[in-house]
Amino acid sequence: MHTLPTLVLAMAALMSCAAMAASPSPADAKDTATPMPAWEQLTQAQRDALIAPLRARWNDSPERRARMYEYAQRWQNMTPEQRKRAHRGMKRWKHMDPGQRAQARALFQKMRGMSKEDRSELREQWHAMTPEQRRQWVERNPPVER
């Protein structure tokens, strides 16, 4: 079982990675990657700066704490490839407009309980739909807010 500090650190890493994906760093601008130190090598001020957004989100949303904790546990269990895919997904999500996000939520929730074959069939149907047909599909299959 993971300890709470380890999970909190994983959540902080996830959130900071999402923030980093959203805005290029100076290293990205120069196309040179500067190796960053291990957590143990960071100063306390650097650690606090990384954890501050998580601390604020945790304190501001007591009703979401269980879900945040669940996300941290899942992140800990991901392979490096799964984490890369998650980063790409977070980046795509950030650049979606509200309508695209609603469509993505509806599709995800609908596919969640489907077999692999049914998901593949729905994906093919989705790609063949016009924007208006997609809008209508989402109206018939609204995402459930969590």
Q: Is residue 41, in this structure, part of any structural domain at all?
A: yes
pLDDT of amino acid 143:
81
Nearest CA among 18, 22, 2, 11 for reference residue 51: 11
Q: What confidence tier does 113 reach under pLDDT thresholds 50, 70, 90?
A: confident
- Domain of 28? 1-81
Task: Give per-residue pLDDT as tens, 70-92.
Answer: 999 999 999 999 999 999 999 99
State which of 81, 107, 123 marks the end of a domain.
81
- pLDDT tens, position by position, 53-71: 999 999 999 999 999 999 9
| 118-128 pLDDT, tens digit each | 999 999 999 99
Alpha-carbon distance values, 89 to 84, 101, 110, 135 (Å):
9, 12, 18, 22
- Split at pLDDT 50, 70, 90, the class of 34 is confident
CA–CA distance, 111 with 122 (Å, rounded to integer) = 8
Whether residues 66 and 9 fall in one domain: yes
